[in-house]
Amino acid sequence: MLFSIKPVLVSLGLAVALTCADSSSRKASSNSTQWSDFTFPGITSKPPHSPEVLHKRNYFYVGGQYTPESSGGKQEIMTGQIYVEQLIPAGGPCKKYPLVFLHGAGQTGTNWLNTPDGRMGWASYFLREGYEVFILDQPQRGRSIWELSQGKPLYVSPLETEEQFTAPQHFKYWPQAVFHTQWPGTGLRGDPVFDQFYASQVESQKNMARRCCHGIISSLTLTKTMASILTRNAGAALLNKIGPAILITHSEGGQLGWGIADAVPSKLAGLFALEPGGPPFKDAEGLKYLNSTARGWGLTDIPIGYDPPVATASDIKSVEVPPPAENLTSCYRQVQPAKRLANLAKIPMAMATSQASYHAPYDYCTFEYLKQGGVDVTYFNLTAIGILGNGHLSFLEKNNLAIAKVLADWFKTIEGS
């Protein structure tokens, strides 16, 4: 890679230098030293044990532009830049492509570092596998600067978090929710793991998201506002700096990731979308579609490339297709002959959906839309491959490393190994 840094060597918990050649040693040593083996003077309660991998760390900002301050004065500020954390295996990366992680709504890049009950997160898993890892905070989220004049804070409540993410089996708002078993702890307010997770949740700009309510459930989905544009621009700037890379997206980040991929397809060796924001053209809750239109460009709220080209979203004609089985939504696809997703079709892609997630009824629609648009996409229905009980936040749940291995095995197919 051409990107030069002077990184800091760090380790949180487990301090083991690892190499790609010693896979069995990596796996055996990953739980050999834990927080419980250390004492902390003056601290009566120890933090959760969090096995980590020795690595070098750097951070930087990318993207953004100088704009007049919101008060109308003569001063300028920079907006649209993103915070990026760069993690490198202590012995150096030994995989062909670095990984870029893009989080979802209400989250920051801390999602990928470890779990709320202190287990190994995906960042350490892939560092252990020899990957260089880049973790970003979306524009106007976390450590990426806010432009306060552009909207008021919007939060997801503890109840909404329980309903949709950590304890959907208690609410049963979609048929598959009853299968949820993998969240560590009760998933309810007052449980220490839930409280730790909810403490990490952050606000979104109100004009960058909308709250769409139907019945009891409330969810966040993006509108055609600056969120998609800022993330596309900053994400493209990052990939132009470090690419080619493999992009891993989750939820809201999935919808934003299509825009990044469309902007710089030559900088992506692959894209793995974990329950990406969807489905095409409309928002769904449970087995029902809302009346409002979303993602007018099929996958996104902003223009992406089609072949033959389209001038406006209204040029993309869609048709509703009945579901192939019970407990699934119908899907909206292009009217035949379908237009090709001109830039996305240049990138190998994969998707994964959990058994008990609120995405379970409709994620297949996004897969079918990509396939119809000429994308080489692999669909991992985790239920079908024997990974059971997960909700929408599978990368934080008890079997998170089993799911990480699904990604790692797919990465090998595009790395030629």
Catalytically annotated residues:
251
Cα–Cα dist 105/208, whole Å: 11
Structure-token match 């009217």, residue found: 335
Q: Is residue 191 within 8 Å of 185, Cβ to Cβ?
A: yes
Q: How many Cβ atoms sit within 10 Å of the Cβ of residue 37?
A: 11
Structure-token match 């008890």, residue found: 398
Cα–Cα dist 280/300, whole Å: 8
